[in-house]
Structure 1
């Protein structure tokens, strides 16, 4: 257990995320370590109490938690930013690696299963082979170590990234994890040979893959072992988080050979992503409204709102100028009135007074803006079930930036895709989620 990792992970969490996990753990004090924290709709992957505690306590992360981060965050990030990326299930490569390890050591070895291993990898590889980046997480069997193998058509190579490389004095033949990467590449080359020689059923997908292999000359790629990728602390158990960090950085930079910073912050980021999976504010079906307003002078300002779905992807946004304002609360309330036309399930505001007033919707409101609050609550009730939560301003910089622009506009504007003026802010907000 790495004490520095525990300290940094927990203490660097946002306060609301800390509160989320404290509340959940307090509600499940006597349950076993297999107590379910979250499970995907189709039931294919999930997180247990033990998965979370291992992340928090600096222990080896489980393949379950790594898989959930890939499925529920990295894949959606790739789709949101139109990144041509494919992902292989790490349990597939684990089967191949364990088989080859047994074959090498002749321990509990069943000969003749090479074709079966190749078929397993073939089924996983075919749907993603035509992507520009194919990420193949390697689970190295009993060693509980994770590395990343990348089919990189941008830089024309197989690229292996290991956050705990052996000392330079160790010969290549004793580079255990690189040898395992070679096993996987050997099977991939076997698959490509079958496709090129038409030894498999030539479906449309296979035909497309065949053209892809030939066009990109993938069957001629060499396997490169990165000597410059960031290294974890030798006393830590951060190989899993580092592997996720490699994927995330390569996706955004596409320069697999130029990563110089480490992934020490990935445990914190994993917990932030996982908090949203089981947080009511993100698990509810429907739309989440984030809005803000900006008071420029005592009488003028701008409003904006950003509507996101339950996966935090932008659905719509709007902004416009405001006049005859009496306070910042007034501006925030007007922004809220605009947002509810989209029937959100959840409204997040950084104005505590607005949240307090809306929470007290069933009480007579005698404040200066009381009639506006009452009208807003009636309007929201017509749209069905809703909830108001408080969110720190940092959570939605895109909406604040949009409101700032709106101050100088002459009329309201509405968008159903990301406008150019907030593209960078939306990308930054998405990474925070």
Structure 2
């Protein structure tokens, strides 16, 4: 690959890659940002004498501008989610019109039809049927959602208690297997969300303590970030989803650790929590060894955030928020400073990985955390309209510094790319 040449970023939004038979003008779609990058690269190659002006125009003529998430695809995705949730709801509401075996068979037939239909569509779009390409990820997403209905209906037919985390765990396993077999993001997102829900529910089922919740969130963060680092080598298109889930769990875990009423009281090493921590340790080791480039540093950062959160929990200043002591103030200041640093780190990672989702997540988390801490601390000494005035000033200052740091980093990265 020539110096300065890099593939156009897809942002990890779709994994359905099939050969496109269309080679006519304007048959390939790209986002405006991708087209801007392509024009810049083609201009540079033209100045270096690698391409002639007619060749540049011919290459650009094969692309047309299109937003990454079109309205049609957005509606298809929302429709798939609503249909999937609706079928699961029907199962949960118990279809009295059919016997248990009949309900199970009906849901299973629908699931198998979607499962097989998605792959048939993928095969046909790979040959000639371009119009059905957008239906492939939607069908696969529906199949992953409907697998949950199959699991819950099977449990109902077998008289297994439905209000237990194990069923959500089996749903997650099925969705993840589906995702890795077909290599599609829809089932992966279903598997990740249900997997996180299962782990937190399972751990807190037997040990609902504050420190247990914090460790569970941070173990999930370390595991997800470690797996994301491994995927940079073996399956790069899945790496962003794992990384973003890990960032969400890490910010949530640090938020929980900073709460004044979270302590070590009633904490115990529940077996599933031990399994989660062990799995996270293995994922961190694998990600550090197998990750490519700076990605191998991300699991170590997740470990650092986890240790910081545990220290905040162990630093017990009491739970009486009506009388703030010097220790309470110091704990709040350290918590705010640590959270701001971590949130900025996530935003920096979003810039490095070209992921607006990470940047948006860091911004939203910082706003929510700042709001909570402001009311928890400032409300004890400032009341009424003055509280909102101070809170607004905190927002303005934090937002200005946060956005300035992000823009400065983006500019530095762009300058570095131009001087390579």
How does the TM-score come out when normalised to structure 2? 0.23
Higher relative CO (Cα under 8 Å, sequence separation at least 6) belongs to 1
How does the TM-score come out when normalised to structure 1? 0.22
Structure with higher helix content: 2
